[in-house]
Structure 1
Amino acid sequence: MAPEAGEIVIITGLAGAGRETAAHALEDLGWYVVLNIAPQLIPELYELQATAVGRDPRFAVVVDPRSGPFFSELSEVVERLRASGARFRLLFLTADEDTLVRRFDSVRRPHPLQGDEGVLEGIRRERELLAPYRRLADVVLDTTLLNVHQLTMRMRETFGTSEERSLTVNVMSFGFKYGIPIEADHVSDVRFIPNPYWVPELRDQRGTDEPVAAFVLSNDNAREFVERYPDVIAPVLRGYQQENKHFTTIAFGCTGGKHRSVAISERIAEELRRDGYAVRVRHRDLGRE
């Protein structure tokens, strides 16, 4: 396997500690994820994925004792991957016994290794079986005090890119006459600003044109709105990040979505970028007039 082929994460650990939640978190970040396969298949499947997708794919696989006798060969596969020079990490998920017992009780499912005994015996048997892999792990996450949202955030922080770890703010302009965008988390009405439509030389221009933007932002109320809005929305955006929300849409509407909302959206986007947010701008109704 070529060192530049891509990044691999093998997820293992105790049943009930969040293996599938961790896998779904990576899948949401765009990783190619496979649940519970024989360890011997990992290098071949990864190379197949690299060929199909292109350069630098991100690949993750969940491996656990349910793969039966094949599971014992996981350590050999780990050593092969490390020797290959691939960007590889082994993630081990764990939690204390009381927490695991409560989680199994809440879903009313047996532990996969309990056999004819109780859940606790299955947990202890699995912990002993997996002890060597905990020692091999590059990352150990104890999920005892984590809920699913917190574990998802930890996965994003540990394995996401800098852009994926930050909040992306989608700034949208729209026209009220075409309806309020249903995807917007926050909507602001900028029809309080004088309308360039009534200025003959500006009517056929757009809010992305400098003369229109200058006219809109020459209004005292518009300037104050633009200056204060980032401070008003800042605690909301911080809260979204703390609650593991990584995308939000803020929308600004005027009558037709051509002049005022466009100019204001562009200016607000500039201010948010200065504050360190990843910002995307979309003018939903521009060109519909």
Structure 2
Amino acid sequence: MTSPSRILLVTGLSGAGRTTVLKTLEDIGWETVDNLPLGLLDRLLSSPPAEGAPDGARPLAIGIDSRTRGFDAASILRRVARLREGGGTDAEVLFVDASDTVLTQRFSSTRRRHPLALDRPTEDGIAHERAMLAELADAADHLIDTTESTTNALQQDIRRRFADSASMTPTLTVLSFSYKRGLPRDADLVIDVRFLRNPHWDPLLRPGTGRDDDVSAFIAADPAYADSVAQIERLLLLLLPRYGEQGKCYVTVAFGCTGGRHRSVHMAELTGQRLRAAGFSPTILHRDLAGKQPDAGKRVPTEGREAVVTVGK
């Protein structure tokens, strides 16, 4: 049985952000379990990975708080020590804290009762819980104070501390589309390439697509082509890593032109190639390329060139 590559016990004061930490760890590829009774830890570690799990050795985060059945700070620390002594597994404790004043404000704003003060003031519950968790706070390998942090800032902090480079890279799609058929609903970045010269107006090129060499050469001959392609590439190389840092799992870059057949297809193909060369793994899709093109003709060779036989005219 493959053991987790890393075990992180996530604990802290109620309202400090423990749930946000666990959700963020799950988003970056960790297996997460919340409020697991400590008596079941050995059974969890000996269980096979879930069906479809990418890797049986992926890191494991276990959420523990004062409500966990059988909670005892000293027992938890002894269990962590045994895991470390066993070798082969990196076991750590992460403690999430915040000031009493901020915790009280958070419970008040969400109109929730403190779990340890259901019939008493929130401050009493906070004081009781802080005393229960004091040993864990003192022994924590990672101590995060969220007194002045937003949820987004906490998420970014967790990603910086615990994400590997693969989990920080969003799934990337480069898409071409036709403005005639509307904007793609899932596009994050939309780049209008209708400023480039249009092969549609050349009857020899009209039946082709942006995948064809002669169509691509026609587009690339536009005086604005080289500078615009270079600037688009620089923009994407700047922005795409930032999306990953912000925790965005999917990014779609959409290139649009009038018919979705020539300029947008060429730019999507070219951009996909350049992003691959830069270390990304984009999927290239052409939303409207297979659609009916009323002005498209059929190419037939004639005297070494291509002519157009218009279909349906």
Given that 1:256 and 1:285 are in contact with CA atoms closer than 8 Å, whether structure 2 keeps it comes out as no
Partner of residue 82, structure 1: 84
Deviation at 1:97, TM superposition (A): 1.3
Opposite residue 28 of structure 2, the aligned amino acid is L
Give secondary structure in 2 for the equivalent of 1:66. coil
| Backbone CA RMSD of aligned residues | 3.1
Opposite residue 64 of structure 1, the aligned amino acid is D
Deviation at 1:196, TM superposition (A): 3.3
Match of 2:284 among 274, 277, 282: 282
**What is the correspondence of 1:208-287 to structure 2 with a 5 Å cutoff?**
208-230=211-233, 245=248, 247-269=250-272, 278=280, 280-285=282-287, 287=289
**What is the correspondence of 1:23-42 to structure 2 with a 5 Å cutoff?**
23-42=22-41
Partner of residue 102, structure 1: 105
Comparing 264-273 with 143-152, greater Cα deviation is found at 264-273
Give secondary structure in 1 for the equivalent of 2:144. strand
Give secondary structure in 2 for the equivalent of 1:191. coil
Deviation at 1:167, TM superposition (A): 6.0
Would the alpha carbon gap of residues 108 and 151 (structure 1) be closer, same or farther in structure 2, given more than 3 Å must change? same
> Between Structure 1 and Structure 2, whose CA radius of gyration is higher?
2
Given that 2:173 and 2:285 are in contact with CA atoms closer than 8 Å, whether structure 1 keeps it comes out as no
Give secondary structure in 2 for the equivalent of 1:161. coil
Given that 1:174 and 1:253 are in contact with CA atoms closer than 8 Å, whether structure 2 keeps it comes out as yes
Opposite residue 79 of structure 1, the aligned amino acid is A
CA distance in 2, matches of 1:157, 1:90: 17
Structure with greater helix share of residues: 1
Would the alpha carbon gap of residues 174 and 58 (structure 1) be closer, same or farther in structure 2, given more than 3 Å must change? farther
Deviation at 1:248, TM superposition (A): 3.4
Match of 2:157 among 140, 154, 167: 154
Give secondary structure in 2 for the equivalent of 1:12. strand
Given that 1:11 and 1:92 are in contact with CA atoms closer than 8 Å, whether structure 2 keeps it comes out as yes
Opposite residue 37 of structure 2, the aligned amino acid is A
Would the alpha carbon gap of residues 89 and 204 (structure 1) be closer, same or farther in structure 2, given more than 3 Å must change? farther
Comparing 17-26 with 5-14, greater Cα deviation is found at 5-14
Partner of residue 69, structure 1: 70
CA distance in 1, matches of 2:64, 2:76: 8
Partner of residue 133, structure 2: 130
CA distance in 2, matches of 1:176, 1:210: 24
Opposite residue 9 of structure 1, the aligned amino acid is L
Unaligned runs of 5+ in 1: none
Opposite residue 68 of structure 2, the aligned amino acid is S
Deviation at 1:239, TM superposition (A): 7.1
**Deviations 1:137-173 (Å, cap 9, x if unpaired)?**
2211111111111111111111111133356654321
Given that 2:175 and 2:287 are in contact with CA atoms closer than 8 Å, whether structure 1 keeps it comes out as no
CA distance in 1, matches of 2:84, 2:228: 55
Partner of residue 7, structure 1: 6
Comparing 9-18 with 231-240, greater Cα deviation is found at 231-240
Comparing 166-175 with 135-144, greater Cα deviation is found at 166-175
Partner of residue 171, structure 1: 174
CA distance in 1, matches of 2:19, 2:264: 43
% identical equivalent positions:
35
CA distance in 1, matches of 2:242, 2:89: 37
Deviation at 1:101, TM superposition (A): 1.3
Deviation at 1:262, TM superposition (A): 1.9
TM-score by length of 2: 0.77
Give secondary structure in 1 for the equivalent of 2:175. strand
Comparing 31-40 with 187-196, greater Cα deviation is found at 187-196
TM-score by length of 1: 0.83
Opposite residue 179 of structure 1, the aligned amino acid is G
CA distance in 1, matches of 2:245, 2:33: 29
Deviation at 1:135, TM superposition (A): 2.9
CA distance in 1, matches of 2:212, 2:59: 41
CA distance in 2, matches of 1:258, 1:161: 38
CA distance in 1, matches of 2:180, 2:118: 64
Count the aligned residue pairs: 287
